[in-house]
Structures are given as C-alpha cells and as structure tokens.
Structure 1
C-alpha cells in the first residue's frame, strides 16, 4: 500500500476510535487502536525506505495483489511490502532506532489482545491507560518520522 494510504487510514481509524468508549466498547476501540498502529508502522517503514510503498496489497508474506492494465487485480510473488504484525513477515536489513521503538510500543499494545479479546481477562481502566499511553507514543513516532521526511 502507498504511504499516503497508510497515513489516511491512520487518521480515519483515530477518528473512529475516538467515538468508542474504551471500556464499554473495548473490543472495537482496541482493534482500531491496533490497526491504526499497524498502519503507522507500515508508513514509517515506507518513509524510511525499509519497505516499498508500491501500489500493491500484501495478502500473505511474499504474495501481493497488484492492479493489472485492465483494472483487475492479480496475485503476484514479490519481496516484503506491508506487514500485518510486528515481526510478520520479518523485515530484513537495518531498522532505524525510532522504528525499533515503534515496534516495542506496538508489541506492548498487542500484549492485551489475547487475554482481553480471546481469553477471559476483563479490560480494566489500567489496561486502557496502558494502551492509550503506548498509542500516544505511536502518534509521536509517526509524526516525527513523517515530518522529518516531508
């Protein structure tokens, strides 16, 4: 996906998450938070030149949907593009320090996924505050990276 598309999606997801009550609508609030973070991560990787922002859409690692001359989409094999989660697929090469920090922040948000959404842990204000604090760091890193490069 293009960098601009990730940034636009990030903005739309942030606006959507602001409409949810973090405790009453935890699952929806959490998924918008995590998906916005993943889009920020992909945008930062593209802005740093670590991954390509070609107009193709990753489906599974190495397989992408690319628009054909007739307007249809076809699956093609190619190198890394967008990531679905930190570490999936693994990113080869040198990762700048701010993006490593972003990975850690997103992983800290992801720590609550399985226990709260797939397990039996009831979300608490403490969990919401943790996610919110980490998401504030996502925003800070994304904005610094995008301002630095244009």
Structure 2
C-alpha cells in the first residue's frame, strides 16, 4: 500500500483513415476518472499520433490541479478495488476513434510500478485495433500486466 503520486498513460491512435477522434478521452483508475488532454490540445486524438499523459508529479495535462491523483490522495490499494479503463466521450461529425494501443503505469519510477493494458491490442495487425464510438462501445477495460509491455 502506497500513495499514488504519478500516473503515465501511453495512448496510440491507429495510423489508418478516419482513425482520429473528436471528443474527450478519460482514464478511470483507483475509483476516479481523469481527463486525458494536454495543455493546449483540442479534443482530437490525431491519426497515427502517440500521446503520453502524465497525471500528478510532473503533470502535462490540462487542468492539472483537478486531474491529480494526489488530491484527494489515492492509494495503490485502490487499484485492486476499482476497474481500470479508457473511455471515449465522442463528439463532432466523425466521433469514432481507432485505438492502436494503451498502457497505464502507476508510480512508474518506483521499485514496484503497476502496469495496466489490454493484451488483445498487442501486435501490429489491424485486427488488434479497437474502434470506439457510441454505435459500438466507448470503453476499453484494462488489466494488470504481468510483463512490462
């Protein structure tokens, strides 16, 4: 049991036609939801782009004060009591989003980082990508990773 001081979310949008998303992307972890948007970033995740979002210590997200796992303090014990997920809140004319990969690391610079991913997305084959949209689902659940993907 330890305080969660930093969360890093690595989010890759597929490099294929119409893969970009309009809308907000949220990370659910340890009983809270956090908006994954960098300072100055609009609500679009661009085709072929790889994003690293940092919450907490050394934050690079918009509204860092409100997207902070230390306020109120979260604990690594909470990681086993609540689901970990990525959720799209679609908007705009082309709201569907093609997700290539995501992994989330809690307290990455410690002796015991906690890593979450969805192994079904592992690999470069297009069948390992996931389209998120209101017409076919907006949420991808993650699970603990036994290896450091």
TM class by smaller structure: under 0.3
TM-score, normalising length from structure 1?
0.24
Choose 1 or 2 for highest CA Rg.
Answer: 1
* Structure richer in helix, relative to its length: 1
TM-score, normalising length from structure 2?
0.24
* Structure richer in strand, relative to its length: 2
Higher RCO (CA-CA < 8 Å; seq separation 6+)? 2
